[in-house]
Amino acid sequence: MTEYQIIMTWDDEASVWIAESDDVPGLILESDSFDALLERVKMAVPELLELNGKIYSQTKLHFKAERLAVVA
């Protein structure tokens, strides 16, 4: 099973969650809801992997997400 690290962080200034990944070139998404962002990531990753010429199988993708937020 292939794992891709997706970093999801809260941006206080913009009031949005941001998803980025060094493992998935081109992935940069934002949303005001963590759950909505997670769903967008799940949709975008297979498409981006295909565009980057990587072979994938929908059934072999494994997502891990953590709520990483800066506490003021």
CATH number at residue 50: 3.30.2390.10
Q: Identify whether 20 is part of a domain.
A: yes
Q: Write out the residue range of the structural domain in which residue 31 sits.
A: 2-7+14-62
Which pLDDT does position 66 carry in this prediction?
Answer: 60
* Residue-level pLDDT at 64: 60
Q: Are 61 and 6 in contact (CB under 8 A)?
A: no
Residue 62 predicted with pLDDT over 70: no
pLDDT in tens, 47-60: 998 898 876 665 45
Q: Is residue 58 part of a domain?
A: yes
Distance between CA atoms of residues 68 and 54, nearest Å: 28
Tokens of 48: 């981006």
Q: 37 lies in a domain?
A: yes
How do residues 28-44 score in pLDDT, each as one tens digit? 999 999 999 989 998 99
In a 3-state reduction of DSSP, which class is residue 68? strand
21, part of any domain: yes
Tell me the whole-structure pTM to 2 decimals: 0.76
Residue 29 lies in a domain: yes
- State how many domains the chain has: 1
